[in-house]
A and B are shown apart, each in its own frame.
Chain A
Amino acid sequence: QQQVKQSPQSLIVQKGGISIINCAYENTAFDYFPWYQQFPGKGPALLIAIRPDVSEKKEGRFTISFNKSAKQFSLHIMDSQPGDSATYFCAWSSYDKVIFGPGTSLSVIP
């Protein structure tokens, strides 16, 4: 069964700083690598996703970088804001399922 490893488990960043979350996967068969954001009491919400043939994708302050040879991908949140404080899950998506990482709890302090 595919597993997704994620680090760090928790992260504290000052407002305006860059938040970086890293993930690693195992299998080579894949479709997309999505990221989800979850606020307390809410379900996860799709944030951004990248295809394996793309090395980087940017949407606003959120950027995914993908390193196929290292089997790693990361999320960068530029100019982090207190409203970004949430749990972030990287995931591996095949044609019929999504495997979630364990999550990173991000706290952005003023």
Chain B
Amino acid sequence: EAGVVQSPRYKIIEKKQPVAFWCNPISGHNTLYWYRQNLGQGPELLIRYENEEAVDDSQLPKDRFSAERLKGVDSTLKIQPAELGDSAVYLCASSPGLAGVNSYEQYFGPGTRLTVT
């Protein structure tokens, strides 16, 4: 079974440029998460989807970040415009069930390392 796929793996952009990250979750997983992981820290949730609905986007900086999950499968996270402080690893994770059932059972992709210069 294929794991969570993310692309690109690395991205270097100049500040004020846009950037997009793509995630393909494990087949059949209803819940999808985007996290940001700063160097030396734990992942921090940006947004959680259940199927195609964003059910928790309270930590998503909505002035510059946007996300979508079309047809409840793949998801894209976008930053426009990027700032220096956005440099981090962006992780996508998926879990098999809806929230309320073992939410800790999340399967992470390898992440996209973003460097903003």
Q: Which A residues have a C-beta under 8 Å from some C-beta of B?
A: 4, 31-32, 34, 41-46, 49, 89, 91, 93-98, 100-103
Contacts and interface: CB of A to CB of B under 8 A. Distances in A.
A96 B103 contact: yes
| For the complex of A and B, 3 pairs with smallest distance between CB atoms | A43-B108, A100-B42, A93-B104
- A43, A45, A49 pick with most chain B CB within 10 angstroms: A43
A101 B42 contact: yes
B75 to A, nearest CB: 15
Majority-rule SS of B interface residues: loop
A42 B42 contact: no
B43 interface: yes
A49 B105 CA distance: 9
A53 B45 CA distance: 27
Given A96-B56, A96-B99, A46 B105 contact: yes
Interface string B75-90: 0000000000000000
